[in-house]
């Protein structure tokens, strides 16, 4: 055993796991300046001290010999990278940004972020791009994995903010899991659902909608083996059953929902017998699922990429929301539509403006009042914030590097050795 291995862990540092949408809180045990051990943070709201194997093996992941630890630069593409100081790297970046913006304008630069950034990092990045450089070309992976959920929340509720929170998992009485193999993809959240089920097995019911027989489906009280791509028909049929059984909250609808009469015309086309032919799910199972959801005092719907990654993903999200709006199972403990993200802070990033059309607090770059509010808070001239949405992630990929941008009319290419840049 080496000296480092014999040394005791003297410091535990709070951090979080980057490997799924739960974003479990971690305590990293430090030994000789390196992460030697990981344990759960009992104070973290999403995980309450729990872990899965992905986090347990973080020390080994962080100590691989090919891991990049320092800034690297090269004079041209044909030369190897060499280590430089942070000061050198930052000064070089600032110089290149200044040169590119001076020659091609502020929209000649763009930022692409990750759902693994913290909210604070997202916020500072947005402030740098939109408030200092003056470009809205700041986009993230939310544009790719969470676009349907974001647009669905916006369409149904007027804001891209999930009504439930993790604490609702501990008091819900019905879990509708659709388009998610939670046991594999969000294991700590699934363990929390299992604990809730085991605490009150006769009252708490779990419905799993999945074409496959997964571990999630095996644990569920009811498995609906849906034909892929037919989620909307199933959800509309469940709402049909709720209407027939008078399990909707008409007072809530009258006070808080618009367009219910138009929705009824659609729902009437999806009796369970019709949905059975479309979805491949037996009529009796559709009725049973709807009644479990409708009779539960507190119901949560949880979904992930099986719903979102679809050409009609927004409409699938809306159909889930409709179940909660029609029954009034929203805005109270243990209730609501709960999107499970792919990365730990995809939602937090959007809250602080982490998309090319957003500003912090769900504000829009196209709204003059919103721009004025943010500019005043940032202490910059209002005209510094562009009124036009920036390039989305896909547009950034299409236009950079080396290809002329149709929107901005410029081309930026990586230098070859003919033009050397001093370090």
Residue 418 within any structural domain of the chain: no
Residue 165 within any structural domain of the chain: yes
pLDDT digits (tens, 9 = 90+) for 123-169: 999 999 999 999 999 999 888 888 899 999 999 999 888 899 999 99
pLDDT at site 246: 98
408, with CB counted inside 10 A (0-12, 13-18, 19+), is: middle
Lowest-confidence segment of 51-60, 99-108, 258-267, 298-307 by average pLDDT: 51-60
pLDDT exceeds 70 at position 419: no
Global pTM reads 0.89
Residue 67 within any structural domain of the chain: no
Percent of the chain with pLDDT over 90: 81
Residue 122 and residue 245 in one domain: no
User: Residue 92 in contact with residue 423, Cβ under 8 Å?
Assistant: yes
Residue 77 and residue 128 in one domain: yes
Average pLDDT of the chain, as a whole number = 91
pLDDT digits (tens, 9 = 90+) for 223-252: 999 999 999 999 999 999 999 999 999 999
pLDDT at site 8: 82
Residue 126 and residue 151 in one domain: no
pLDDT exceeds 60 at position 402: no
Q: In which band, very low, low, confident or very high, does the pLDDT at 408 lie, cut at 50, 70 and 90? A: very low
**CATH code, domain carrying 19:** 2.20.25.90
User: From CA 158, how far away is CA 300, in angstroms rounded?
Assistant: 20
Q: Which residues pair with 337 in a beta bridge?
A: 301
Chain centre to alpha carbon of residue 337: 14
Residue 194 and residue 288 in one domain: yes
Residue 231 and residue 306 in one domain: yes
Residue 249 and residue 268 in one domain: yes
pLDDT at site 7: 62
Residue 152 and residue 136 in one domain: no
Q: In which band, very low, low, confident or very high, does the pLDDT at 411 lie, cut at 50, 70 and 90? A: very low
The candidate with the shortest Cα–Cα distance to 41, out of 61, 16, 20, 22, is 16
Give the structural domain span for 332.
147-339
Domain count, the chain: 3
pLDDT exceeds 50 at position 404: no
Q: In which band, very low, low, confident or very high, does the pLDDT at 401 lie, cut at 50, 70 and 90? A: low
Residue 91 within any structural domain of the chain: yes
Residue 383 and residue 362 in one domain: yes
User: From CA 162, how far away is CA 42, in angstroms rounded?
Assistant: 24
Mean pLDDT of 95-106: 96
**CATH code, domain carrying 79:** 3.40.50.740
Residue 269 and residue 185 in one domain: yes
């Amino acid at each position: 055993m080496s000296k480092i291995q014999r040394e005791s862990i003297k410091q535990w540092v709070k951090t979080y796991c980057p490997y799924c949408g739960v974003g479990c809180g971690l305590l990293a045990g430090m030994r000789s300046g390196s992460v030697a051990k990981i344990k759960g943070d009992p104070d973290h709201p999403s995980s309450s001290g729990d872990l899965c194997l992905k986090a347990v093996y973080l020390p080994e992941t962080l100590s691989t010999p090919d891991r990049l630890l320092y800034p690297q630069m090269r004079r041209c593409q044909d030369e190897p990278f060499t280590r430089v100081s942070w000061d050198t790297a930052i000064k070089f970046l600032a110089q290149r940004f200044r040169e590119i913006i001076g020659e091609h304008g502020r929209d000649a630069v763009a930022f692409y972020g990750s759902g693994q950034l913290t909210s604070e990092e997202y916020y500072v990045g947005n402030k740098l791009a939109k408030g200092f450089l003056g470009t809205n070309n700041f986009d993230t992976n939310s544009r790719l994995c969470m676009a349907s959920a974001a647009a669905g929340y916006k369409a149904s509720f007027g804001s891209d903010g999930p009504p439930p929170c993790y604490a609702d998992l501990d008091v819900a009485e019905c879990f509708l899991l659709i388009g998610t193999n939670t046991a594999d993809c969000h294991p700590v959240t699934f363990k929390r659902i299992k604990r809730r089920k085991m605490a009150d097995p006769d009252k708490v019911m779990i419905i799993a909608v999945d074409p496959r027989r997964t571990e999630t489906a095996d644990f569920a009280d009811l498995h609906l083996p849906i034909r892929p791509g037919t989620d909307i028909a199933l959800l509309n049929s469940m709402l049909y059953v709720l209407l027939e059984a008078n399990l909707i909250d008409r007072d809530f609808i009258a006070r808080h929902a618009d367009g219910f009469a138009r929705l009824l015309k659609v729902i009437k086309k999806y009796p369970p017998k019709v949905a059975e032919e479309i979805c491949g799910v037996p009529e009796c199972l559709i009725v049973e699922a709807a009644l479990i959801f409708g009779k539960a005092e507190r119901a949560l719907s949880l979904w992930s990429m099986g719903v979102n990654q679809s050409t009609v993903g927004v409409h699938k999200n809306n159909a889930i929301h409709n179940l909660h709006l029609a029954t009034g199972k929203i805005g109270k403990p243990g209730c609501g539509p709960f999107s499970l993200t792919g990365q730990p802070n995809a939602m937090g990033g959007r809250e602080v403006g982490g998309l090319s059309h957003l500003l912090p607090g769900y504000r829009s770059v196209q709204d003059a009042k919103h721009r004025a509010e943010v500019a005043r808070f940032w202490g910059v001239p209002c005209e510094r914030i562009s009124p036009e949405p920036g390039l989305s992630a896909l547009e950034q990929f299409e236009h950079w590097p080396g290809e002329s941008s149709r929107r901005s009319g410029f081309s930026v290419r990586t230098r070859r050795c003919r033009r050397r840049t001093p370090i």
